[in-house]
Amino acid sequence: MVALLGTMTTTATAMHGMDRPEDRPMPGMPDHSRMNDGSVWINTDIITIMANGETPQLHFWFTSDEGGTLARFSTNYVMLIEFEDLNDDGAYQRNEYLYFAPLSAFEWTISTGEVVDDDITTEVWLKYTKSGVKSSMMPGMPMFGHDGMGDIERFSDVTLQIWAHIYLDDYVGTVSDDHGIHFNYTVAGRSELKMDIEIGNFPFSSENSSVAIQTIQKENEATGTQNLHHHRMETRERFRNVSFSSDMNWTTTGGNETRFERMNDTECHRIDFMDQDDGITQGFFSWLDTAVITWPGGETEAVDVEVSYVPRGDGVAVYLAYPYFDDGSILHDPSIGLYPEGAPDTGILLNYVLITGIGGIALVALLVVLVRKK
């Protein structure tokens, strides 16, 4: 029994060591690395992010959940669209499009860097930059929303950059233009990846057309035993929250995209990923409801961002829509992230309980034997 107790103690110590392998960052230290396949990995003690090296595609999961075995999410930037807002709601619906092109049809470069203050890394960043048309399409790249390749050459000279940042501590940003600061917002340190999307040189057909970027939000990418559509998604809206499962499919009719109704008294809106079984909210995709246009000559103007969404059966398509900015550029900030309190039980705590319980039983048995010998 003594030997058994000693073995249990050793096992518990080893399991405790598994909680933070040597190749993981120390608590709160953002870190990044580039793999041989061109992908970039960013780690903190809360979140792990894997950025595809070929196209703007971000996978993220809890660092404590090795490899995203229990809960793994992704955000894909898949389509650039010009549309005419026929119903005047500011948002995009499929029956309003004029031209489109899949983003996977273009070349992308991904660069990385960090900000260091007094030998402490306070920020890690990665940047996707669009360039020309690819000579050949990569197999398996996401192409959603419209059939065919669309108008790739039309958008070949569009400038598009997605610059993503993760901070050691909470970061307070501002949205401002030549008229002053419109509002402040906070990015959660170590658990949220804040992105700056900048679009320029867009070939607008007329002053009545707008731009949309289609994203696909997925929640069923866990690498362990698959439980597809394990999460439900919830939008926090003005009059009520809207909850749906990602296996729903509203795309059977063009124009089914639903405009997101903004909540009052907040400038940051989001879609949450919630565990179907226990209702715990684990991850999110969020965005600010204001973007900033820089016009030729340098004048800046804050404008509204309208968002629409539609479940597709394999996730949800979210469309970020921006108004006309001919000869200028536009800057907008969405985010992805995790709620630290929503981290899944990786089994370590359960194993501790089992070890402690078995150890207690063995100890009681040992004491009983000793008492009887007396």
CA distance 239 to 259: 13
CA distance 5 to 363: 8
CA distance 194 to 373: 67
CA distance 224 to 227: 9
pLDDT tens digits for 73-110? 999 999 999 999 999 999 999 999 999 999 999 999 99
**Which of the pair, 21 or 360, is modelled with greater confidence?**
360
CA distance 23 to 112: 19
- pTM to 2 decimals? 0.83
pLDDT above 90 for 247: no
**Which of the pair, 149 or 75, is modelled with greater confidence?**
75
CA distance 97 to 93: 7
Indicate the burial class of 108 (C-beta count within 10 angstroms; 0-12, 13-18, 19 or more): buried
Comparing C-alpha atoms, which of 81, 58, 218 is closest to residue 146? 81
- CB neighbours of 206 closer than 8 A, spacing ≥ 6? 84
pLDDT above 60 for 356: no
CA distance 338 to 211: 28
- Token code pair at residue 358: 């078995």
- Token code pair at residue 193: 């990846």
- 3-state per-residue secondary structure call for 266-290: CCEEEEEEEECCCCCEEEEEEEECE
Structural domains of the chain in order of their starting residue, each with its CATH number: 47-346 (2.70.98)
**What does pLDDT average to over the chain?**
84
Indicate the burial class of 145 (C-beta count within 10 angstroms; 0-12, 13-18, 19 or more): buried
> In this structure, are residues 38 and 51 in contact, taking their beta carbons and an 8 Å threshold?
no
Residue type present at position 357: G
- DSSP symbol at 312: B
- Token code pair at residue 296: 């030729």
CA distance 368 to 163: 66
pLDDT tens digits for 29-79? 899 999 999 999 999 999 999 999 999 999 999 999 988 888 899 999 999
**Which of the pair, 143 or 170, is modelled with greater confidence?**
170
CA distance 324 to 162: 20
Q: How far apart are the first and last CA of the chain?
A: 18
Tokens 């696909």 identify what position?
216
Residue 29: strand pairing partners: none
What pLDDT does residue 70 have? 87
Residue type present at position 55: T
CA distance 229 to 326: 41
- Token code pair at residue 285: 């995709």
